[in-house]
Chain A
Amino acid sequence: NFMLTQPHSVSESPGKTVTISCTGSSGSIASNYVQWYQQRPGSAPTTVIYEDNQRPSGVPDRFSGSIDSSSNSASLTISGLKTEDEADYYCQSYDSSIYVVFGGGTKLTVL
């Protein structure tokens, strides 16, 4: 089955830029759109990126998404880090056999 692999955790200082990767196990990650969800402690997920690199209204342009076909991975980049960005981040895509697949999540610490 298709899987998405994320680093367990990343950390960076306020004001800096951090990138979270999401690597597909097989096939081409570019074949289906990738979404990114933010989940703050004790809260429901919210969408920060859809269709690889689109931001829903209300999401600041400090959040950006990209696809790298050469490494079969997607990335979420957050610039100008703020303490409020501290959260778990999940990538997600679609697979024709198992439908929806989520990455295991990455805990972002802003310190």
Chain B
Amino acid sequence: EVQLLESGGGLVQPGGSLRLSCAASGFTFSSYAMSWVRQAPGKGLEWVSAISGSGGSTYYADSVKGRFTISRDNSKNTLYLQMNSLRAEDTAVYYCAKDYSSSSWFVGAFDIWGQGTMVTVSS
């Protein structure tokens, strides 16, 4: 069974840092691009960042560029999101999502989602 399991969320003060992880299982992790998508309380979905299957290409939304870093460890089947200089507006549930295409290139369409991890930025 294909599964994605996020972890690492929590309460952090403005200006602080947090590292999210997404453990993948049930598929050949390195063959698929992966993304982080967030959802602020009561709001819609917002794409945050993506990384190609090899990890050689990364993509960011303007709202997080320069503050967040996406990475992956294909030997551990794990996706990461390093979040620095956190702001109140970064408060959201963060989902990892798998591209449906096995090309390993980022196509920006998802077939599997994790259950999410909550990040709260507040003093």
A residues contacting B by CB (< 8 A) are: 33, 35, 37, 39, 44-47, 50-51, 56, 90, 92-94, 98-105
Contacts and interface: CB of A to CB of B under 8 A. Distances in A.
A35 B116 contact: no
A94 B44 contact: no
Interface residues of B, number: 23
Residue from B59, B100, B112 with most neighbouring chain A CB atoms (10 Å): B100
A100 B50 contact: yes
A104 B45 CA distance: 8
A50 B109 contact: yes
Contacts of A104: 44
A47 B112 CA distance: 7
Q: From DSSP, what is the main secondary structure of chain A's interface residues?
A: strand
A47 B111 contact: yes
Contact of A94 (B107, B113, B115): B107
Contacts, number: 59
A96 to B, nearest CB: 10
Given A44-B95, A105-B45, A56 B61 contact: no
B45 A44 contact: no
B115 A44 contact: yes
Nearest to A100: B47
B113 A100 contact: no
A63 B83 CA distance: 37
A58 B72 CA distance: 29
Residue from B61, B62, B107 with most neighbouring chain A CB atoms (10 Å): B107
Contacts of A50: 100, 109, 111
B50 to A, nearest CB: 7
B45 A94 contact: no
A99 B47 contact: yes
A102 B109 contact: no
Contacts of B73: none
